[in-house]
């Protein structure tokens, strides 16, 4: 990893730059595929599945037989692990339910808000270099808890036209209503416009590579909402001499193995620890099955030495990491001071992997600095809030004259008349 010692603040933008392409680099490809899917539907989806995934499929739909067979291919130990993770994720997300908010703003003027589920949601689950069945738990569980009527899943097939059995098992277990063997840009396009087989959805969720991220962003031009811009994975660790160098190295590598465009960063005030972590990374890297991928990600990554905790915290908030690990004696300083992060992990025994799988928090998080303005997926992500109001005769008499004055001041006479007519009838 690149070691950077005591950088000046003017160098931070370059040091913290993500290894991602711009939207403009990818936008043309996405628009071309979207245009074809709008016109040709299933045929265009099948064309790009063959082009990008190397498999020609006669049927994009995952059959009930395939789902049933998948369950038989999963070991009982893995099933138990999935069920444990499911229980914890359900517990944490169910606790996020809130009661109806109701208030009488003036005598006779009652206002309230209620949350309603988004009827049709689409889940995108990557399945290329790693079948991320854990993302199904993170998305389908809150969708089901929220009461979404249609939960549509798209995931790429392998070279034999199959979907990883763990993906199918988890999807069925968590209440997904329809599953399709579609990946990449074409999956986002299919759920955006709808095809003969794939329903059009109202909101699309899920992580993916840079092409998927841009496709999701462009889908918003067609009245489809998205969870957030969630692209290549990233992790930032702040650690001091109280940290275990081997643990820190393992956490950095756990995200580096996601993909060649992932990025991991350690910030520290200890040059001794920085060197220990650097050595540990090289040792642990040799044993990883995904060493080639992690190696590439490490090229985009940094070990940064700073002078003080204050400077470290300022740098961390400037970066806005997707995942933020704190291994420090003054952990409360960073817990209280962090304002830009997707999810925070505290202490030597809280690996980021826990949040990825089974602690209960959601691992679908904003990347590429979007933690400065986006939250990670939660129960509310699958709902929208509707406001209601009911005004009595007493209420319209109380606020009506003010409404008339406000409407007249804005030059909106019909707005004023809507109140004036009622007040005349009541007087």
> What average pLDDT does the structure give for the chain?
95
Establish whether 363 is an annotated binding residue. Answer: no
- With cut-offs at 50, 70 and 90, classify the pLDDT of residue 247: very high
Given the DSSP bridges, would you call strands 203-205 and 178-181 parallel, antiparallel or unpaired? unpaired
Q: Are residues 92 and 187 in the same domain?
A: yes
Is 46 part of a structural domain of the chain?
yes
pTM: 0.92
Is 269 part of a structural domain of the chain?
yes
Residues marked active site are found at 322-323
Q: Are residues 176 and 30 in the same domain?
A: yes
Q: What is the CATH number of the domain that holds 122?
A: 3.40.50.1980
Within 10 angstroms of residue 387's Cβ, the number of other Cβ atoms is: 9
Residue 128, pLDDT > 70, answer: no
Mean pLDDT lowest for which of 9-23, 136-150, 350-364?
Answer: 9-23
- With cut-offs at 50, 70 and 90, classify the pLDDT of residue 22: low
Q: How many domains does the chain have?
A: 3
Helix axes 393-409, 413-426, angle to 10 degrees: 150
Establish whether 93 is an annotated binding residue. Answer: no
Q: Which residues face 239 on adjacent strands?
A: 268, 327
Q: Are residues 327 and 397 in the same domain?
A: no
Establish whether 124 is an annotated binding residue. Answer: yes
- With cut-offs at 50, 70 and 90, classify the pLDDT of residue 208: confident
Establish whether 48 is an annotated binding residue. Answer: no
Residues 102-129: what's their mean pLDDT?
A: 94
Tens-place pLDDT, residues 294-328: 999 999 899 999 999 999 999 999 999 999 999 99
pLDDT for the residue 21: 61
pLDDT for the residue 26: 87
Closest CA to 33 of 199, 161, 214: 214
Q: Which residues contact 92 (CB under 8 A, 6 or more apart)?
A: 359, 360, 361
Residue 24, pLDDT > 70, answer: yes
Mean pLDDT lowest for which of 29-33, 72-76, 131-135?
Answer: 131-135
CA–CA gap between residue 396 and residue 301 (Å, rounded): 62
Establish whether 186 is an annotated binding residue. Answer: yes
Establish whether 233 is an annotated binding residue. Answer: yes
pLDDT for the residue 112: 98
Tens-place pLDDT, residues 340-388: 999 999 999 999 999 999 999 999 999 989 999 999 999 999 999 999 9
Q: Are residues 293 and 201 in the same domain?
A: no
- With cut-offs at 50, 70 and 90, classify the pLDDT of residue 197: very high
Looking up tokens 């004055």, which residue turns up? 405
Establish whether 343 is an annotated binding residue. Answer: no
Residue 67, pLDDT > 80, answer: yes
Q: Are residues 146 and 258 in the same domain?
A: no
């Amino acid at each position: 990893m690149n070691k950077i010692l005591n950088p000046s603040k003017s160098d931070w933008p370059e040091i913290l730059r993500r290894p991602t392409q711009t939207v403009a680099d990818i936008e043309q490809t996405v628009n071309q595929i979207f245009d074809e899917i709008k016109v040709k539907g299933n045929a265009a989806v099948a064309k790009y599945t063959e082009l990008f995934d190397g498999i020609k499929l006669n049927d994009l739909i995952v059959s009930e037989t395939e789902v049933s067979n998948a369950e038989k291919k999963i070991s009982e130990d893995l099933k138990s692990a999935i069920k444990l993770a499911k229980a914890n994720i359900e517990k944490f997300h169910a606790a996020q339910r809130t009661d109806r908010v109701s208030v009488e703003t003036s005598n006779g003027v009652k206002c309230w808000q209620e949350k309603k589920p988004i009827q049709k949601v689409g889940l995108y689950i990557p399945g290329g270099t790693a079948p991320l069945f854990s993302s199904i738990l993170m998305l389908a569980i809150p969708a089901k808890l929220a009461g979404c009527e249609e939960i549509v899943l798209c995931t790429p097939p392998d070279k034999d036209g199959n979907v990883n059995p763990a993906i199918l098992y988890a999807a069925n277990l968590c209440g997904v209503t329809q599953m399709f063997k579609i990946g990449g840009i074409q999956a986002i396009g299919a759920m955006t416009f709808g095809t003969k087989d794939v329903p059009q959805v109202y909101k699309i969720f899920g992580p993916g590579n840079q092409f998927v991220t841009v496709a999701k962003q462009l889908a918003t031009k067609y009245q489809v909402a998205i969870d957030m811009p969630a692209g290549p994975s990233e992790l930032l660790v702040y650690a001091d001499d109280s940290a275990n160098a081997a643990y820190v190295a393992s956490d950095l590598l756990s995200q580096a193995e996601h993909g060649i465009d992932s990025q991991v960063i350690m910030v520290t005030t200890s040059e001794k620890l920085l060197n220990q972590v650097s050595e540990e990374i090289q040792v642990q890297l040799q044993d990883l099955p995904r060493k080639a991928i992690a190696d590439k990600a490490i090229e985009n990554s940094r070990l940064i030495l700073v002078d003080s905790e204050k400077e470290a915290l300022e740098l961390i908030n400037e970066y806005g990491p997707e995942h933020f690990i704190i291994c420090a004696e003054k952990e409360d300083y960073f817990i209280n001071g962090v304002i830009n992060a997707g999810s925070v992990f505290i202490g030597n025994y809280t690996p980021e992997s826990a949040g990825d799988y089974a602690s209960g928090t959601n691992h679908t998080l904003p990347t590429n600095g979007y933690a400065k303005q986006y939250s990670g997926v939660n129960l509310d992500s699958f709902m929208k809030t509707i406001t209601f109001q009911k005004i009595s005769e007493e209420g319209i008499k109380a606020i009506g004259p003010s409404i008339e004055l406000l409407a007249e001041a804005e030059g909106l006479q019909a707005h004023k008349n809507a109140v004036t007519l009622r007040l005349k009838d009541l007087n």
